[in-house]
Copies of this chain bind each other. A is one copy, B any other.
Amino acid sequence: MSIAPWRSFLANALKKNRSQAHSRYFQLATVRNDGTPANRTVVFRGFLEDTNKFKIITDTRSEKITEIQNRSWGEICWYFTNSREQFRIAGNIIIIDVNYQDSELQTVRESTWQDLSDNARIQFAWPHPGASRDNQEAFSPQQPDENKPLDNFCLLLFEPVKVDHLRLRGEPQNRTIYERDEMGVWDVKEVNP
């Protein structure tokens, strides 16, 4: 696989905005079983090595898992506040949970867990997200093993097929669309903002 042509622009945006922790957050939209859209902020965990796939982590108890199991299509909206540019990234999502049958990807799931802070890991031992608020003690579980992910820890791989890059700085603004064809080749075109 080759690095997609939009990757250098995204790397540049990450560099230009790195002073701000929130530059690694983006909004991931999916579709619920009833056909309505869902939208939430998630953290960019880097690319799966030698691919253009974004790594995202989640809890198997979260609603987005049911949504993705039903419809695997998502759209990321990533707005960089410093450089004033937006990437809209459409793609397909694969769920790498504890039962996923691929030892290489299980290794990636494990290393992603190992790279988390203690504070991020312990949240997977908290009570069910979205359920009625539990008491304070429920949020002080034993610190999980830092090497072996809890069963509900889940890696998502988001594979882009279309990227719409808008740069607000510019008169007029610049907008480029990248689309991957069936052969995996990226078509690039400049469009009106």
**Which A residues have a C-beta under 8 Å from some C-beta of B?**
20, 22, 25, 27-31, 35-41, 71, 73-77, 79, 81, 86, 88, 90, 123, 126-134, 139, 171-172, 175, 177, 189-193
Contact = CB atoms under 8 A, between A and B. Distances in A.
A37 B81 contact: no
A40 B131 contact: no
Tally of this chain's copies: 2
Contact of A31 (B22, B36, B133): B36
Contacts of A139: 171-172
Given A35-B71, A36-B71, 4 more contacts: A27-B29, A30-B37, A37-B75, A40-B88
- Nearest first, the 7 closest Cβ-Cβ pairs linking A and B are A29-B29, A29-B39, A29-B37, A39-B77, A133-B190, A27-B27, A39-B75
